[in-house]
């Protein structure tokens, strides 16, 4: 009987934070400067604590996918605590980018304090692929149509020559 009583008291409580959704919204497209077009986006990450305890202080980061800039945009203020069964939405405002095509949006979170070891309960990441504009292509538009018309002309000429014989 004493053992049963102790097992109920010693049940572990912990937070379990995960990213449940990442989405991106186009805010505006700036006027082109030369061949460069800048798009401004809002990046939204939704985190949920499915555990039965309050989370440690969490920092959410967005890794800049543009080569050479190499930074992490960090939400301000850096410290967020999620209560048990709580969902919070984190927003990165006005991210400007000249990139086009498929762009990986890397959102991660982990303990704010360096004294707390990251683990599967207090850290994680999500990758969202953003399709910006059209991808550059090496084919010439209408090139296939020109080949088709040339083929029809050759077919008609060959039929005409057969009839003349």
What are 129-145's pLDDT values in tens digits? 999 886 454 555 566 66
Q: Give the mean model confidence (pLDDT) for residues 43-60.
A: 93
Number of domains in the chain: 1
Confidence (pLDDT) at 128: 93
Angle at 33 between CA 30 and CA 36, to 5 degrees: 80
Within-domain flag for 146 = no
The boundaries of the domain holding residue 58 are 13-138
Cα separation of the two ends of the chain: 109
The CA distance from 67 to 38, in Å, is 16
- 160 in a domain, yes or no? no
- CATH number, domain of 85, equals 2.60.40.10
Q: For residue range 86-104, list pLDDT tens digits in order.
A: 999 998 888 888 888 899 9
Residue 144 counted as domain residue: no
The verdict on residue 70 lying in a domain is yes
Domain membership flag for residue 30: yes
pTM > 0.75: no
């Amino acid at each position: 009987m004493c053992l049963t009583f102790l097992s109920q008291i010693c049940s572990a409580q912990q937070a379990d934070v995960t990213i449940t959704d990442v989405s991106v919204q186009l805010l505006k497209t700036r006027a082109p400067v030369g061949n460069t077009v800048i798009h401004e986006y809002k990046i939204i990450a939704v985190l949920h604590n499915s555990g039965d305890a309050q989370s440690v202080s969490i920092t959410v980061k967005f890794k800049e996918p543009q080569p050479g800039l190499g930074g992490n945009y960090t939400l301000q203020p850096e410290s967020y605590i999620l209560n048990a069964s709580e969902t919070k939405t984190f927003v990165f405002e006005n991210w400007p980018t000249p990139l086009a095509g498929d762009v990986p949006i890397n959102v991660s979170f982990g303990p704010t304090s360096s004294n707390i070891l990251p683990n599967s309960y207090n850290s994680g990441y999500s990758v969202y692929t953003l399709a910006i504009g059209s991808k550059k292509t090496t084919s010439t538009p209408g090139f296939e149509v020109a080949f088709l018309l040339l083929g029809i002309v050759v077919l008609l000429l060959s039929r005409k020559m057969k009839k003349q014989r």
